[in-house]
Amino acid sequence: MKSQMDRRQFIHTSGLLLAAASAGSLSHSSAAAEPGGRIKKAVGWGMIVEPKLSVEDKFRVAKDAGFEGVEVSRHASKKDTTEPQELARASEKVGIPIHGVSNGSNPDLEAAIDEAAIYGATTVLHVVRTDPETSYMDNYRRTQELIRAAIPRAEKKRIKICVENVWATFLIEPLTMARYIDDFSNPWVRSYFDIGNVMRWGWPQHWIEVLGPRIEKIHIKEFSLKIAMKDGMSKAFDMPIGQGDINWKRVREELAKIRFHGWATGEVRGGDRQRLAEISTQMDHVLYA
């Protein structure tokens, strides 16, 4: 069903979001409401840089480093990629789950959902981008229509579509992101919250306060405002996790308020066994301190 929201409606309803969230009118997601749960730590498959190892051994490296799960990027038909079925078999054999699939902004969401089902994953990460050649509201509606068309497949496969906040010049503040997700009125569309990405425009603790139980999973990276100003935005992610300008204590406090116990996946420069162990330890410090 096509959204009939116009500009006036958009502005009016966006202004109601924070009050609704504060009043607790939004139900918690299954990830956030798991009683007695604990944030689960994962690593991106592409961060495991051990080219001479088998697929199974790469999973073992991740497990040995202290990670409880792995997130993979959407399969591409290239010679150097591993087929989903092989990844799924190796994951099961080693005993470390593939919890999600990163789809980027690929419009074929149904194919991404089908791939996630092969792994037994629970989410597909989807990036919503802007189009400077069209109007803001046209892009808003069009990107929603793409997601809405894939909801029946997501529900059938029991896999949530999670919209991520990226540097795409769209949905760059929390009230708008919350409104975008709420427009679906559907539990199969959630937020994939990237803690480091929002430092370009604000503070992650504020985003968590507004998005609340809409957050299904999170990405972990660091950001340095000083380096961003001096050496450029992309360089600001190079700081070790926990040593930049993110207030991790406040982040933990806000995650605790929404009882978030889902997956937290590192999204930084990867490497060999030693580098992965280092990332794992850094994540421990910011997530569980």
Average pLDDT over residues 24-35: 43
Fold of 37-288: TIM Barrel (3.20.20)
This prediction has a pTM of 0.87
Give residue 225's pLDDT. Answer: 82
Average pLDDT over residues 244-261: 97
Average pLDDT over residues 7-29: 46
Q: Indicate whether 25 pLDDT > 60.
A: no
- Please, which residues bridge with residue 263 across strands? 40
Q: What angle do CA 109, 197, 199 make, to 5 degrees?
A: 155
**Tens-digit pLDDT profile for residues 278-287:** 999 999 999 9
Q: Which pair of tokens denotes residue 193?
A: 């919250």
The domain ranges of the chain are 37-288
Q: Indicate whether 230 pLDDT > 90.
A: no
Q: Where are the alpha helices (DSSP H) in 95-192?
A: 109-119, 136-157, 174-182
Q: Indicate whether 19 pLDDT > 90.
A: no
When comparing pLDDT for 228 and 99, which is higher? 99
CB 39 within 8 A of CB 215: no
Q: How far apart are CA 137 and CA 122, in angstroms?
A: 30
Tell me how far the alpha carbon of residue 181 is from its chain's centroid.
14
In 3D space, the residue among 216, 165, 205, 158 whose CA is nearest the CA of residue 27 turns out to be: 216
Average pLDDT over residues 49-66: 95
Length of the chain: 289
When comparing pLDDT for 228 and 185, which is higher? 185
**Tens-digit pLDDT profile for residues 64-122:** 999 999 999 997 545 557 899 999 999 999 999 999 999 999 999 999 999 999 999 99
Average pLDDT over residues 239-248: 94
**Tens-digit pLDDT profile for residues 127-183:** 999 989 999 999 999 999 999 999 999 999 999 999 999 888 899 999 999 999 999
Q: Which pair of tokens denotes residue 90?
A: 């190796």
Give residue 80's pLDDT. Answer: 58
Q: Indicate whether 15 pLDDT > 60.
A: no
